[in-house]
Structures are given as C-alpha cells and as structure tokens.
Structure 1
C-alpha cells in the first residue's frame, strides 16, 4: 500500500534541510525493513561500511596506536611502544583513522618509561630490584613446613627446635644450620591418637636406627649433635598426619657441613668397615645406669651383647680384602679385637657382682679405645673422635 503523502522530512543533524524523498539511512529510518539499504547492502554485509550515528561511516582505530599505548604501559616494553607510536601517527593522518590520542599517550608513556629504565640501569636500581625479587622468591621457596622436608636437606628452625614448628628454612648444608634430615617413617597400628608419650617412644627408637644408617661415620658427627625428630601433633593427627621426620640437630648452636655418610657417599670398603665396628660403639653406649651390685642381670646381659659385637667385628674384618694403606692397620685392629673378646667373655660369664667387677676394668682396657684410628686413616675416614665443646649432652 503506497503512502498517501510523502513522509515528513526530519531535521538534519547539523541543522541544514535535507532533500525531499527518503531520508538518509540512520538508526531510526527504515522504510522497507530492519536495515536502511544502500548501495553496499545492509550494514555488516560484504563491502558495506560501518554505520555510525546519523548514518556516517565509522572511522577505524589504528592498530599501531593501540599497540603503542599497551607497550608504553607495560614497563618492560617502552622502546617498542615509542616505535609503534611513531609509526601510527603518520598512518592515522594518511588514512583518516582514529587513535591519534592513543598513539600520543603511548609515545609519552614510552619516553617516560625509557628514561626511568635508563636511570635504573645507570644507578643500579634495576639490578637491586631484580636481586631483591630473586631473593624474595628464593626465601619463599626455602621456607616450608617441617613435614615438607626431604632426606639430606639441612634446615634452620627459628623456633629453636621447640615443641611446635611451622616455618622451616631450607639451608645449604655448607652453611651454619640447626639440623639435617636423615629420613622419615609413617606411624602405623593406631586407630586413634596414641598420645605424645607413645609417639616419642616410637620416634626415638626408629629415628636412632635411621640416623645410625644415615651417618655411619659417627666420628664425623659433632658431639653436640644428636637424634631429633618432628612428630604429628594432636591437631595434625586429626587431618591424617602420620609422618615422623628424623634428623640430626643441635640446640647448642648451629653446625656446618653435612653429617651424611652412607652408601651414597662412602666407598664399599669404608661402608664395610664402619658396619663392622660401629655395633661395638652402639652397644657400649647402652651400658646400664645401675651398677652390677644393683642390677647384676642387666649388666651381665649387656656384657654378653658387647662380647657378640666384638667377636662379630673381628670375624667380619678378617674375611674382607683390605686394599692399599688399610691392609696392615685393619689386620692390627683384628688382633686387638681378638684379645679383647677373650676378656669380654670372662665378664659375660661372671657368676656374681664381685666376679663381674674383677673382670670389668680389664675388658675395657683391652678394647681399642680408638676402634682403629689408623685403619680409618688408611681408608680415608674421619680418624679423630669429635671433641666435646661446651656443655655435655647429659649436663
């Protein structure tokens, strides 16, 4: 159906009168459908210009101008932002594009950032900032829970090895540290929280065994360093924590160097020697506190264990081939252990406390006090026992 009269002419957006007929395409003028058709088809069709307010083609924004602004904002790309801005300005003028303000802002920001970067490099400020950042990242990576520690790691405990520890700093073993992790184990066989005392009993026994395997060369362990462990608390137990972390640690000041001496650090001959003679030292430290007059049976049982340790060491040393500089001193140690075994046998079969005391001093005197220092020298092991510094362990 045709209109009975021409449509009213809308006012020009610029105040000038338009020609009679259909109005210019605009957002509100669509006599035949949703789009005001033109020579290119509807907006968005191939070849059609973008339609802006009042039907004027929309100016495109120069891509280099946008990139210049972004590069100027990003502190590490100021030279790139300057270059892109200088490329964008003549293009914008030539192609009648938008983005001149973006390009100018990108150039200004890039110039300022470049100046700041230059000053930082000259004065060393940038290097200090980078070093500070790296130091912060490094410190964060080294700070962790005790239960995140792994075997062989040395650590510092700002809590001074107190009951509860939350933040442990991993430290190079060559630097002073509070402790060194020797291993870990899981608590099993408990349906509920077993109590602190029970865990301490299990932890001490298991960690002693783990530590003795981790540090076979006991003479290389400082005298003020002993068995230590981190155990679950009642609260962490509820969350499923069952791990006990074993370590060597000192509460009397930090120590330097790793105490690790196991199959990963020792030669086969060194490892064999230490496994043969270490039980003598281990059993010797377990001598009963009560003397034979107070607990004869306990002392007699202990002397039997010492006899077994001495005889086993003698036999093990005799059946192994000892190379080079270790041959003669190991053979000499074997003879000393043979003589000591005869005296310890007398002690182990003592009929009463008086007979025990009669054989006691001789048994200790015949046992090599250094347990083969010359043999250790020949094998390249620590040949000097650790010297007590400061208060003793039992003080």
Structure 2
C-alpha cells in the first residue's frame, strides 16, 4: 500500500493544478493527497534505507578481511581474526583485523542450527556449540583456549542460528591463522 504513495503524490499535484486553473472544488482533497502521498513516499524511502543498512550490517565478511574494521558478530565466519576479545556477555560489535596483524582470537569453526529449529534455551544452545568447538592438542599445549559464542534468545528471534568457536590467546599477540597453520604465538 505504501508503494502507492508516490502515485498519490503525483495525482495530488495534478489535481491541485487542475482545481487551481479551473476554479473548481476539490482543492482541499488535492492538498490532502499531496500531504499523504509525500508522507507515504518518505516512509517508503526510510524503509528502503533501513533495509539496506540492515542488510549491510548482517552480510557475512570474507574469512580474512583486507583492513581493520568494526563488524557485528553475526557477520563473522570461519577464518575471521578478532583484535581483542570483548568482556563476557552478549557480543554485538567486535574489531576484526587481517590475520597477518596481531590479534587475540580467530573464528576456527561454526555451528549452524537448523533455520526451522525451535529455541532450545540458552544452556542447550551453549552446550551444542561447545561440543562442536574442539582445538587440537598442539594448540591446547601452546596455551590456546576455546571460547564459544552461541545465539541468544533475542538473536534467535531475529534469525541468528550460528554459533562460533574461537581459538583465543589471552593478551593477544597472535599473527597468522590457526586454520592454515601459520599462526605465530607471542
């Protein structure tokens, strides 16, 4: 219905011109059509901009970004390197860096819940992602620890069905990637 707003705006302008030039009644209706058409058109423009911005904020990143930037947690994929691990709790935005730069964590695996799955509860979601997060013996011996991020109930309601497994070196200083064996620990 809002897609008809631009049409209402145009028809209101046409009607206002005709009523003004001919001196006929209907000027008030023409003005109302213009106002409502303009408001509706503005609403359509705002909706398109919000949709575009939201799509950009949730589009997955490449595994290894070309330059440092802030990213939403839902954009992270296997291979993404994270400059600094945020405090415990809900994670929204993190700083991602090229893996060649120093970083504290890297996404090493993902666990995808089925899109039609029912919310399992926070503890069950955390446990399921944790079972999929396993580091090798060499990484564990070198002081690398696993950290898991699983969807929250609020994120789940927005369609987030991905859990992440991160390889973390407390204090950072890692360069390279755990995925191809090029990671150098401090």
TM-score, length-scaled by structure 1? 0.27
- Deviation of 1:243 after TM superposition, in Å, equals 0.5
Q: Note closer, same or farther for the CA distance 1:165–1:261 as it changes in structure 2 (3 Å cut).
A: closer
- Deviation of 1:179 after TM superposition, in Å, equals 0.5
* Partner SS for 1:199: helix
Deviations 1:250-285 (A, max 9, x none): 3x31131235255xx69xxxxxxxxxxxxxxxxxxx
Does the CA contact (< 8 Å) of 1:147 and 1:245 recur in 2? no
* Partner SS for 2:126: helix
Residue 155 of structure 1: aligned partner: 82
CA–CA separation in structure 2 for the residues paired with 1:151 and 1:179: 11
Residue 254 of structure 1: aligned partner: 172
CA–CA separation in structure 2 for the residues paired with 1:147 and 1:179: 16
Deviations 1:50-102 (A, max 9, x none): xxxxxxxxxxxxxxxxxxxxxxxxxxxxxxxxxxxxxxxxxxxxxxxxxxxxx
Residue 158 of structure 2: aligned partner: 239
Structure with more of its chain in strand, by fraction: 2
Structure with more of its chain in helix, by fraction: 1
- Deviation of 1:195 after TM superposition, in Å, equals 1.2
CA–CA separation in structure 2 for the residues paired with 1:199 and 1:180: 21
Does the CA contact (< 8 Å) of 1:221 and 1:259 recur in 2? no
Q: Note closer, same or farther for the CA distance 1:261–1:185 as it changes in structure 2 (3 Å cut).
A: closer
Calculate the aligned-residue CA RMSD, in Å: 3.1
Does the CA contact (< 8 Å) of 1:180 and 1:258 recur in 2? no
Larger Rg: 1
Q: Please say if 1:144 is aligned against 2:65.
A: no
TM-score, length-scaled by structure 2? 0.53
Residue 128 of structure 2: aligned partner: 202
Residue 145 of structure 2: aligned partner: 226
- Deviation larger for 230-239 or 180-189: 180-189
* Partner SS for 1:169: strand
Deviations 1:158-198 (A, max 9, x none): 623x2211111111323331201112121139743211111
Residue 167 of structure 1: aligned partner: 93
Q: Which has the higher contact order (CA 8 A, sep 6+)?
A: 2
Q: Note closer, same or farther for the CA distance 1:220–1:241 as it changes in structure 2 (3 Å cut).
A: closer
Q: Note closer, same or farther for the CA distance 1:186–1:158 as it changes in structure 2 (3 Å cut).
A: closer
- Give 5+ residue unaligned stretches, structure 1: 1-137, 213-217, 267-381, 390-395
- Deviation of 1:155 after TM superposition, in Å, equals 0.8
Which residues in structure 2 correspond to 1:50-65 (within 5 Å)?
Answer: none
Q: Note closer, same or farther for the CA distance 1:221–1:261 as it changes in structure 2 (3 Å cut).
A: farther
- Deviation of 1:221 after TM superposition, in Å, equals 6.0
- Give 5+ residue unaligned stretches, structure 2: 1-66
Does the CA contact (< 8 Å) of 2:115 and 2:161 recur in 1? no
CA–CA separation in structure 1 for the residues paired with 2:126 and 2:116: 14
Which residues in structure 2 correspond to 1:127-142 (within 5 Å)?
Answer: 142=69
CA–CA separation in structure 2 for the residues paired with 1:177 and 1:194: 32
Does the CA contact (< 8 Å) of 2:74 and 2:160 recur in 1? no
Q: Note closer, same or farther for the CA distance 1:261–1:183 as it changes in structure 2 (3 Å cut).
A: closer
Deviations 1:288-340 (A, max 9, x none): xxxxxxxxxxxxxxxxxxxxxxxxxxxxxxxxxxxxxxxxxxxxxxxxxxxxx
